[in-house]
Amino acid sequence: MALSSVAYYSNAIVGSPQQGGDVNIYEANTNPKFPVGYGFKRADGNVFRYCHVGTATRAGNLVGPTTASGGATYNAVALVGSTASVAVPGESNIKAGQSGSHFVEATVAAIAKDKYRGSYLITTQGTGMGHTYRIKGNTATDDPASGNIRIQLYDAITSGMNIYTGTIIVPSMYTDLTVTAISSSQVTGVLMADTSSTKIYGWVCTHGVSGCCEDGTNTVTAGYQVSVSTVTAGAYACLYRSGGTVLASSVAVPIIGYSITPSAAGAASNRSGAIYLTLE
């Protein structure tokens, strides 16, 4: 049937905190206008997140966090037992690492102040295993004790930790973004506006229709699942070629959506196709 002549479309969003009733997703900012990670769903169903981009990056590229920003390593920190930790002002009756505290003390070399801010501390084994805490900030190495740092959590610890508690620190998906590396295991979405060395905050599309840099080598076919490219940084590729052959069976890459329309012929890293993102 034909499209109704009275169908109504809107590009507006519901009013957002501190900003009124509209957002310009094609604007990059020097100073943040929203908290990093703040998101909204537009009237057409597309979802966008406000992000910090650490390097100059062109719109239309896939971007993701640099793992060096927030750890992303097993046993990234060796926790200090509560009996050996330095008392935290304001928590005189609770020691760092105990249930109810907002702090953990850990031994880790050469870490700058707030390197882990916005990241996640995940307990992987031992006492307190199975919890995920969002990190508010951290001191630099040698504060509060030689070789140690203090990590502040947004929420109180629900199950105490000790020196045998295993940890992983995972960076925020919305901080210090850069063009996704070839075969990257972490992808946030498609950048909406060019960023520079000074314009470092902007919007990323995580769900819905978006143009995106296309793989420079492998054939892209409409309707196929797409993943991070294994040959072109910042690009997408079909998980399977049109012939049905696995694109890269030896490489683990996240599925990010499906192809709507491939691009016309063009040079590698200089063409875009239409995809439907399903990252959230």
Whether residues 117 and 163 share a domain: the answer is: yes
Total domains present in the chain: 2
Split at pLDDT 50, 70, 90, the class of 140 is very high
Q: Of 170, 194, 226, which residue sits at a domain end? A: 170
Q: What's the Rg (C-alpha) of the chain?
A: 22
State yes or no: pLDDT of 92 exceeds 70.
yes
Instruction: Tell me which residue range forms the domain holding 262.
Output: 39-66+176-278
Q: What's the pLDDT at 197?
A: 92
Q: CA nearest 85: which of 157, 150, 131, 134? A: 150
Q: Is the pLDDT of residue 152 over 70?
A: yes
For residue 99, is pLDDT > 90?
A: yes
Q: Is residue 8 part of a domain?
A: no
Alpha-carbon span 150 to 108, nearest angstrom: 10
CA angle 265, 269, 270 (to 5 degrees): 55
pLDDT tens digits, one per residue of 228-253: 988 889 999 887 655 555 555 546 78
The pLDDT value given to residue 204: 98
Answer yes or no: do 163 and 133 share one domain. yes
Give the C-alpha separation, 20 to 188, whole Å: 26
pLDDT at res. 74:
47
Is the domain of 73 the same as that of 150?
A: yes
More confident residue, 84 or 266: 84
State mean pLDDT over 210-227: 85
The residue-averaged pLDDT of 159-169 equals 90
What confidence tier does 110 reach under pLDDT thresholds 50, 70, 90? confident
Q: Are 132 and 103 in contact (CB under 8 A)?
A: no
State mean pLDDT over 7-20.
63
Same structural domain, 150 and 200: no
Same domain, 128 and 191: no
pLDDT at 6 over 90: no
The pTM of this model reads 0.84
Does residue 160 have a pLDDT over 80? Answer: yes
Domain termination residue (choose one: 137, 153, 170)? 170
233 lies in the same domain as 257? yes
In tens, the pLDDT along 15-60 reads 655 555 568 899 999 999 888 999 988 889 999 999 999 889 999 9
Question: Do 245 and 237 touch, CB atoms closer than 8 A?
Answer: no
